[in-house]
Structure 1
Amino acid sequence: MGVTLKQIAEIAGVSRGTVDRALHGRGRVNPETAKLILNIANELGYRPNRMGRALALTRKSIHIGVIVQSYGTPFMNLVIEGIQKASAELHDVGAVILTEFLESVNPQNTIAAMDRLIDKGAQALALTAVDDDNLREHINFLSEDKNIPIITFNSDILGTKRLCYVGQNSFQSGQTCAYLMSLALRGTGKVFPLTGHLTNVSHQQRFLGFSNVCEQNSGIELLPLQCCFDQDHYAYELTMHALQEYPDLSGIFVTANGQSGACQALIDAKKKSQICLIAYDLTPQNCKLLQDGHIDILIGQGALLQGYQPPILLYNYLINGTKLEQEFLYTDIVIKTKYNL
């Protein structure tokens, strides 16, 4: 007898509906709860029979293309784990995930990858996007003229016909970070903001949310935004320069990859005890920096779900015509310190 959703729910201590949403990418589920449910389902050998029956009825092979930018960064490695989880489930019912890994965030490379995947037979696409008019136009062309359903994850692109976005509400998470920074600095001090890519909408929105709260707090002085292109060596150089130019610096806000470089600069300058550092992503490397006291607060954004949900959603859309209830499927804003990691 196969494993049931009720059995998984009893073991996880949640409702059957929560299990259903976590396994099939529907609605909003706490990232930690979803991870627990996925692990239990995997250990018990759960297989999504409903999807298997649907595939048997259609008698056609489904191919879903997934494009991952910033390939090789610690955070994207976690996202890829989610993609692999979805791939294993879909493989069991005869569906295939085709992947393209891009090291850069160049929109032309993304467009080329989209076309390559379609040439290979992809009937739907999931991608991490950047804010670019050519990419926006191509998404709309594929969605409207070629009837290719598209989902964005991790970083969105507005003004398109994509089905939905899976990822964090970056503006709200930026606001949350600014509030936490203000508490840590007791409402006064200079803060150095460091981002990854100016064309990445998530990076943009985190900074805009952060600056929105800082504008309401006259005691917090937000220094000019600097871009490290997700590279630790650039983050190190930019942070060292900021430390030299602003000896009274009180805080550092890192919106993207580059956390290790910023931390190393604080260590080399012997400034860590004087400066609060808030950064993103619960990667093993960042968690170690948090435990060691080099990062004060880490913000998690549900990396596993960001990789897992889009292929599952697209599969359900292709097979069952399942309409998405929401345009924005936000993952939780997870706040971690070394005391609750």
Structure 2
Amino acid sequence: MKVTSKQIAEICGVTRGTVDRALNNRPGISAETRQKIMKVAEELGYRPHFLAQSLVKGETKTLGIVLFDIHNRIFSQLFHSFEAEARKQGYFIYLVLSNKDKELEIEYINSLLDRKVDGIALSPINKGTKFESFLNRSNVPILSFGNRLSARFPFVWIDDKQAIKEAVSHIVSRGYRTFIYVSPPLRNKGKENIYVPEQRHKGFLEACKALTDIRYHVITDRDYLMTIKRLVNEAEDKPAILCSSDIYALDILRFLKTHKIRVPEHVGVMGFDNIDILNYVNPPLTTIDFNVDEIGRRSAELLIENIKGKDIPLRTNVGYTIIDRDSL
């Protein structure tokens, strides 16, 4: 049975107000009475009523974070750094996974609001004015990362468009003139929030169109591997496969090896994200690294600053670096 402050007051022969002052280290009681109350509370295993305290203070010291899933190492790593920063500042985290389900995402956000979280960080799958109006009605600070909402909501990520442009320049500097760009999420354009794939795609197109004597193909098929095989076989010169994510690049490396297409002798491959599993890949994959830990830490830090009433930037860009390995 849960021990109450009323029971402690009865045992100690004092008022509930006196117990409250002792438990919350407030003045107005003697050291002897405080010590007696604290000793009884400890012996009985007393724990304060968290929700009742939250109502009085107007905050719960909790945050919500909404991710697609944690199968992708980017998201699991981001969550760890987000949670570590929040915990350092005295906040507890509710983690929910939308699984890229728009209705489930809204249901989970409502659940977080029902639990009176002080703020929410999310990588949204929903978008548009109706969804943003729903978020505004929550009356709690909202911050996004990865997929962006409109400029009205603070956003923490990298400059995806510029990063892909630099990737194209890097590949061209290695002598490639034929590109195969792989981004299956683009097939969902207009159906859901795919801000990150769209920005990377825009950057790729802008980079290619700014160059002369460049040939390129964009693959958005769900079953992209057979299309890649056909394009590699038809290419007049050695092509470079640029992927919008390391996950696709790893799949392609395995597929090419199965079909005895050597990397980089027959085709070059480059990914994006620098997930930690790349440490075990052969040949080592050229990719773009960005500081996921910094994104998680800054997201928590800025969200908490916003909760405390401080103005925060509407866009925070984290740096990135091309990691040149043996796959080009």
Gaps of 5+ in 1: 1-54, 229-233
Q: What's the offset of the Cα at 1:71?
A: 2.7
Q: What's the offset of the Cα at 1:237?
A: 4.6
Query: Which residue is 1:78 aligned to?
Result: 77
User: Which of 307, 310, 319 is equivalent to 2:296?
Assistant: 307
SS at match of 2:147: coil
Q: Which runs of 4+ in 1 moved over 6 A?
A: none
Query: Which residue is 1:38 aligned to?
Result: none
- CA 1:271/1:338 → structure 2, altered by over 3 Å: closer, same or farther? closer
* 8 Å Cα contact 1:167/1:301 also seen in 2: no
* 8 Å Cα contact 1:277/1:294 also seen in 2: no
Q: Deviations over 1:31-54 (max 9, x none)?
A: xxxxxxxxxxxxxxxxxxxxxxxx
1:96 aligned onto 2:92 = yes
1:122 aligned onto 2:117 = yes
* 8 Å Cα contact 2:167/2:322 also seen in 1: no
1:283 aligned onto 2:275 = yes
1:197 aligned onto 2:193 = no
Structure-2 separation of matches of 1:131 and 1:122 = 20
Q: What's the offset of the Cα at 1:115?
A: 1.3
Q: What's the offset of the Cα at 1:172?
A: 0.7
SS at match of 1:219: coil
Q: What's the offset of the Cα at 1:125?
A: 1.1
SS at match of 2:229: helix
- CA 1:165/1:293 → structure 2, altered by over 3 Å: closer, same or farther? same
> What code does the residue aligned with 1:271 have?
R
Q: How does 1:1-341 map to 2 (within 5 A)?
A: 60-90=59-89, 93=90, 95-103=91-99, 105-130=100-125, 132-133=127-128, 136-143=129-136, 145-158=137-150, 161-162=152-153, 164-186=154-176, 188=177, 190-198=178-186, 199-228=193-222, 234=223, 236-244=225-233, 246=235, 248=237, 250-256=239-245, 257-269=247-259, 270-272=261-263, 273-289=265-281, 292-295=282-285, 297-319=286-308, 321-324=309-312, 326-338=313-325
TM-score, normalising length: structure 1: 0.70
- CA 1:201/1:220 → structure 2, altered by over 3 Å: closer, same or farther? same
> What code does the residue aligned with 1:85 have?
A
Query: Which residue is 1:15 aligned to?
Result: none
Identity of aligned residues (%): 13
* 8 Å Cα contact 2:232/2:239 also seen in 1: no
- CA 1:115/1:241 → structure 2, altered by over 3 Å: closer, same or farther? farther
- CA 1:245/1:85 → structure 2, altered by over 3 Å: closer, same or farther? farther
Gaps of 5+ in 2: 1-53, 187-192
Structure-2 separation of matches of 1:242 and 1:88 = 50
Q: What's the offset of the Cα at 1:84?
A: 2.8
The aligned length equals: 263
* 8 Å Cα contact 1:171/1:205 also seen in 2: yes
> What code does the residue aligned with 1:101 have?
L
Structure-2 separation of matches of 1:132 and 1:305 = 25
Query: Which residue is 1:22 aligned to?
Result: none
- CA 1:65/1:227 → structure 2, altered by over 3 Å: closer, same or farther? farther
Structure-2 separation of matches of 1:119 and 1:247 = 59
- CA 1:241/1:121 → structure 2, altered by over 3 Å: closer, same or farther? farther
> What code does the residue aligned with 1:322 have?
K
Structure-2 separation of matches of 1:330 and 1:87 = 20
* 8 Å Cα contact 2:160/2:203 also seen in 1: yes
TM-score, normalising length: structure 2: 0.72
Structure-2 separation of matches of 1:205 and 1:191 = 18
Structure-2 separation of matches of 1:265 and 1:243 = 12
Q: What's the offset of the Cα at 1:166?
A: 0.5
SS at match of 1:274: coil
Higher RCO, Cα 8 Å, sep 6+: 1
Q: What's the offset of the Cα at 1:243?
A: 3.1
> What code does the residue aligned with 1:74 have?
R
Structure-1 separation of matches of 2:184 and 2:77 = 18
SS at match of 2:185: coil
Query: Which residue is 2:21 aligned to?
Result: none
Q: Deviations over 1:7-59 (max 9, x none)?
A: xxxxxxxxxxxxxxxxxxxxxxxxxxxxxxxxxxxxxxxxxxxxxxxx9xx67
Q: What's the offset of the Cα at 1:108?
A: 2.6
Q: Deviations over 1:155-187 (max 9, x none)?
A: 2123x631x11111111111111111211235x
- CA 1:83/1:241 → structure 2, altered by over 3 Å: closer, same or farther? farther
Structure-1 separation of matches of 2:182 and 2:145 = 22
> What code does the residue aligned with 1:116 have?
S
Structure-2 separation of matches of 1:203 and 1:70 = 17
* 8 Å Cα contact 1:184/1:276 also seen in 2: no
Instruction: Point out the more displaced range, 208-217 or 197-206.
Output: 197-206
Structure-2 separation of matches of 1:151 and 1:89 = 19
Q: Deviations over 1:271-297 (max 9, x none)?
A: 3112221111222212333xx3352x2
* 8 Å Cα contact 1:78/1:283 also seen in 2: no
